[in-house]
Amino acid sequence: MLKQEWSFKLSGDKRPLNDLEVGIIHHNLEANNIGIQLIMGFAQCAQNKEVRKYFLKGKELAKKQVKIMEEILLKSDVQLSSTSSATVITSTVPPFSDKLMMHCIYILNRFGIVGAGTGAFFSWI
């Protein structure tokens, strides 16, 4: 029997990921991949330089999250699904105001925090 190198350890001994944890990690991975595409589009359309900088910083954070989650799944011998082949168009015409785009990202970040909390909760039980 192969011993898995990666597992969660919130309390007690290390153990392999269960199917619910794999599902939650996969969901968060996909949500971050979609978020990267959205935030890249928002960054290239933002009128204010500070707003653009904020979006680009968020993109880098999402990329780090994707890398961490991919590493967890790979070390647990879980096959990664293919990522979205969607690309951001080159338009710089803003579909929304900077304020509305920032608010959208604010709301989506809150969903991400809830998802991470849900994952931690189910990992503990």
Average pLDDT over residues 104-113: 89
Average pLDDT over residues 90-117: 89
The model's pTM is 0.77
pLDDT range class, residue 9, cuts 50, 70, 90? low
Average pLDDT over residues 11-37: 83
The pLDDT of residue 11 is: 56
pLDDT (tens digit per residue) in 47-102 = 999 999 999 999 999 999 999 989 988 888 888 776 666 788 888 899 899 999 99
Which of helix, strand or coil describes residue 1?
coil
Q: Which of these, 65, 32, 83, 20, lies nearest to 8 by C-alpha position?
A: 20
For all residues of the chain together, what is the average pLDDT?
83
pLDDT range class, residue 37, cuts 50, 70, 90? very high
Integer Cα distance of 46 and 50 in angstroms: 9
Comparison of pLDDT for 122 and 40, the residue scoring more:
40
Half-sphere exposure at residue 46, Cβ-oriented, CA atoms within 13 angstroms:
22
Q: Is 118 exposed, middle or buried (0-12, 13-18, 19+ CB in 10 A)?
A: middle
